[in-house]
Structure 1
Amino acid sequence: MSDVEKSSPVEVLTAEPVSAPRRRETVLMIIGAVAVVVALGVALAGFVLSRHGDGRMLGPSEAFPSAIAVPARPHAARRAATVPAGGLVYGGLYLAGLGTGEVRAIDIRTGRSYWRYDRPGSVAESWTLDRVAGRLVMAWSKKGSNQVEMIDVRAGRIVWRQRSVAKLIKSPLDPVGLFVDPVTKVSAVVGPWWTVGLDGDTGRVRWKRRWTSDCKPFNFGSHGVTFDGKAPAYAYAQAMVGVFVVEEACGSDVGEVVGFDARTGADRWKISVAEAARGMPSPPDVASDSDFTALGGLSDLDGRLLALGLRLTGADVALIDPTSGRVVARWYTAGGYLNTPGKWSELTYGTGMQVGLCTTGGKQVLCADDPKKGKRLWRRPMPRGLEPHAPAVIDRGRVYLLTARHDNSDWQLIVTDLRTGKSLAHIPLPKPAGYRPPPNPPILPDDVPRWADGIIRTVTNGVIVTGDSESRSGTVDLLIQQ
């Protein structure tokens, strides 16, 4: 058999006559296919590598998930997903990964990743979310390369990366609080030695403030971090109307609150806690007004006024105008709230109201007051046999309170109208993810709240996040109201 015969099949195929138009069509198809492959390769390379830097962004993988609709009178809550703790809700996404080197935007409805951002060897120390712009500001720690980044949540894109803050904050990265001013869009990185103002569009350093050895941000490391994407119920710094407000601890002094301009970092005003508490009656168990402390922290009352907690309980507050530092009103609750030392986080604020637990006739009730007007608004008794298992949470004109029986059974979510105190729903809940009952629960008086590990992390746009009370460990459940 000749060599020609061995290759005859190929010769037959290649020897077939092909018309000029068909030849051109074939060539064009081949060129087009190659172009598509090359384009996809370039797009994929750009999709991953253009945002590589110290990390890698994968996604978005689908259309942006819309926010979850909430019924007027919910009757049930469906567990949509169990996700890592320490996250926050934005639209139809849950952002998870605080305390790790991988941040994910998870579709709440499906549980699938919308995008994933990996930074091997780094740890996401803290974050906050500009909900208007849809941008996430994050502080990362990595030996020798601490930095702050801004991520466009919808686009899954790194907007800017600021490395120069590593020179201003000790390495490894000290705990920091991140706050975005809603007016100027300046991001404040509040650290133990410096506070740095970063431009919202470019990330460049606009100003920096050095804390003195005498006065430093008060306990910012554990409570100044924003876990729910809003401000914490009690933080030691807030960003409002073009002003950053920070509580300072100054030696043995009670403490003071300072407001500085978000655009320039210049001081606007300063007020001592003793001055803020001036004229308020001393509680029966302390000697003088000097025993008022700022341990209650700072809360955003209504977007225009700050509520400064004046004692360990935090129930007694001075309302401060953040633009001037002027005390607008003082609200003294006469000890009616069930706030014991170390339990100041039982109170929550929103739309001008203060909500927490108090006693009426020796029984625990859910209370709402207007501290600006100095009025008690309503009291809502606990359902028979149920006890509160978390601080109340305010979201979109509603108050949510997690309850259960004394034996930690029959978990229910009590939903109340914020303005009227009218009961809207009692929603049965699955046992919160990660819940572990204490082996030897203490026997407490009836007027002391029995906090369990089960807790409402947050309710944002109607999405309920419940789970273990550890801030960054374990898992949480995402519940959708129905």
Structure 2
Amino acid sequence: MRLLTEPNLNASRWVILAAEMALVLAAASLFQPAESHEKREVQSHEKREVVTGAMGPFPAAFAAEAPVAPDHVIRRTTGDVPVHGLGIRSTDFGVRAVNLRTGKEYWRYEHRYTDFETTAPTFDVLEHTVVIEFRDGNLVGVDLRTGKPRWRKETERRTGSTFVSLADGRAVTDATGAVLAVSERDGRSLWTAKTPRSCADVSVFDAYDFPDHLSTVLVGCNVMSLETRYDLLLGVDNRTGDVLWQRRTEPADSPLRGDDHTLVVPDPAPGTPKTVHLLDVNRDGVSQRADFSVKWAHSITAAGGVAVSNIDPEIYHIDSNTLLSAYDVQDGHVAWRLRAPSGQEYGAPAIADGRVYVVRRPILKNADRGSRTQAELLVLDVDTGRLLHTLRLSGLTVPKDLAYARLDIRDIADGAVSISWLEEDEGKEEDLLIATD
């Protein structure tokens, strides 16, 4: 390509001719019929929009609740985000969905830019919509079932917006000096919750729904500034956006929803042991009810009235993942403990529908790097720790760096448990195991 650094009459004529042709093509595109299941490419001066639409019937979720006795394993890769029987992943120019049962592409949506290079877009998966953020600041809400765009928006931010799903088809995202709630179906704004003047640069991290029309939203304020950065927990009326209360903290791990009135919040102070605060949450405010102590807080999970850690508090080493400890979120007392057999350890657990899911595997040595190993998926009763079910996982390739050799529960949704190694490199694909009944 030649850069024009001085007037060029021939080049100018070609530019004018190209512009006229673009206008003709744009006008013609207005009269093109809609296509439901075939690839459609819409040409513009900057990009062409690739919309394949759904290719086949919608693959329903595996089940309505978390698996009770999983006995089937599907192997995919960690690039896929499982939702409703689909695996969503980014491409160089957009997003594609694959049928998790078959591994075949179900739909693809892309902006293929022709006039400048761009990096892969980011996306957030909501209940019914995949929100794609392109690097030019364009947001597109794509229907999860059909792969077709529902809405488009241009943002004032070029990168970094995050959408977090709430109930009833709502999601929250960031705006300048505010948290914005939008409808995931059509992208329209529902309400705006203002942040303090000291929090003009807002990044939404997490959000949870609570009873009595209360939502809590954790935002990072001024995240690009070492001097002025802090985190802010907002209590918001999720009908109007009125800020009912706010709690300022130092940057820390995101809080977890322990039950209908409790947030489980690791203390931001460095060092070990780590204090975990149990906060009582309602429309009137947030207050500390109790706390408990763990060795490290990076793999705590909470739901169903308990918080569970996989790290033995009596062993100094950071990777002493040999003891599951469950803490009652009402008072912080130990509810139950389950020690791994000698030579075994746990990955990061997860909780859903009254059950704890965790992977137990042999403790690995340097000689095991790159070799095959096996593990077990355990299903435990959340109240007692009683073993309900075991599923053997075989043919697992151990990462070459043992620092990443943790088999964690990534997600539990739509009747499936997703399991993978802690990713060694961002963007590097590892085995993703999807366990179902």
Indicate whether the TM-score tops 0.5: yes
Map 1:38-437 → 2, pairs under 5 A: 42=33, 44=35, 48-49=39-40, 55-68=49-62, 72-74=68-70, 76-78=71-73, 80-85=74-79, 87-97=80-90, 100-121=92-113, 123-130=120-127, 135-143=128-136, 146-163=137-154, 166-167=155-156, 169=157, 171=158, 173=159, 175-183=160-168, 185-190=169-174, 195-208=179-192, 214-215=198-199, 220=203, 224=205, 235=206, 237-238=207-208, 240=210, 241-249=213-221, 256-273=232-249, 293=250, 295-312=252-269, 315-327=275-287, 329-333=288-292, 335=293, 337-339=294-296, 344-359=297-312, 364-388=322-346, 390-405=347-362, 406-407=364-365, 408=368, 409-430=373-394, 432=396, 436-437=399-400
Look up the equivalent residue of 2:138 and give its one-letter code: Q
Work out whether residues 129 and 184 of structure 2, in 8 Å CA contact, stay in contact via their aligned partners in 1. Answer: no
Distance across 2 between alignment mates of 1:72 and 1:201 = 32
TM-score by structure 1 length?
Answer: 0.66
Look up the equivalent residue of 2:106 and give its one-letter code: Y
How far residue 269 of structure 1 moved from its aligned partner, in angstroms, is: 1.0
How far residue 378 of structure 1 moved from its aligned partner, in angstroms, is: 0.9
Work out whether residues 393 and 458 of structure 1, in 8 Å CA contact, stay in contact via their aligned partners in 2. Answer: yes
Look up the equivalent residue of 1:55 and give its one-letter code: E
How far residue 71 of structure 1 moved from its aligned partner, in angstroms, is: 6.3
In the alignment, structure 1 residue 456 sits paired with structure 2 residue 416: no
Work out whether residues 458 and 466 of structure 1, in 8 Å CA contact, stay in contact via their aligned partners in 2. Answer: no
How far residue 422 of structure 1 moved from its aligned partner, in angstroms, is: 1.0
Residues 356-411 of structure 1 show CA distances to partners (whole Å, capped at 9, x for unaligned) of: 124377583111122124432111111331122x3112233322222332235433
Look up the equivalent residue of 1:317 and give its one-letter code: H
Distance across 1 between alignment mates of 2:148 and 2:42 = 7
- What's the % identity of the aligned pairs? 20
For the residue of structure 2 that corresponds to 1:301, the secondary structure is: strand
1:466 to 410, 420, 434: 420
Q: 1:323 to 1:147 in 2, by over 3 A?
A: farther
Look up the equivalent residue of 2:254 and give its one-letter code: G
How far residue 77 of structure 1 moved from its aligned partner, in angstroms, is: 4.5
- The structure where helix makes up a greater share of residues is 1
Work out whether residues 84 and 96 of structure 1, in 8 Å CA contact, stay in contact via their aligned partners in 2. Answer: no
Work out whether residues 108 and 478 of structure 1, in 8 Å CA contact, stay in contact via their aligned partners in 2. Answer: no
Work out whether residues 95 and 104 of structure 1, in 8 Å CA contact, stay in contact via their aligned partners in 2. Answer: yes
Distance across 2 between alignment mates of 1:212 and 1:321 = 21
Work out whether residues 162 and 204 of structure 1, in 8 Å CA contact, stay in contact via their aligned partners in 2. Answer: no
Work out whether residues 302 and 352 of structure 1, in 8 Å CA contact, stay in contact via their aligned partners in 2. Answer: yes
Work out whether residues 294 and 309 of structure 1, in 8 Å CA contact, stay in contact via their aligned partners in 2. Answer: no
How many residue pairs get aligned? The number is: 373
Residues 231-266 of structure 1 show CA distances to partners (whole Å, capped at 9, x for unaligned) of: xxxx4x445545352245585697542223444443
Residues 318-365 of structure 1 show CA distances to partners (whole Å, capped at 9, x for unaligned) of: 3242533232x53322x3x231xxxx3310111222111243775831
Q: 1:210 to 1:60 in 2, by over 3 A?
A: same
- The structure where strand makes up a greater share of residues is 2
How far residue 91 of structure 1 moved from its aligned partner, in angstroms, is: 2.5
Distance across 1 between alignment mates of 2:61 and 2:37 = 29
Q: 1:472 to 1:214 in 2, by over 3 A?
A: farther
Q: CA RMSD in A?
A: 3.6
Work out whether residues 198 and 207 of structure 1, in 8 Å CA contact, stay in contact via their aligned partners in 2. Answer: yes
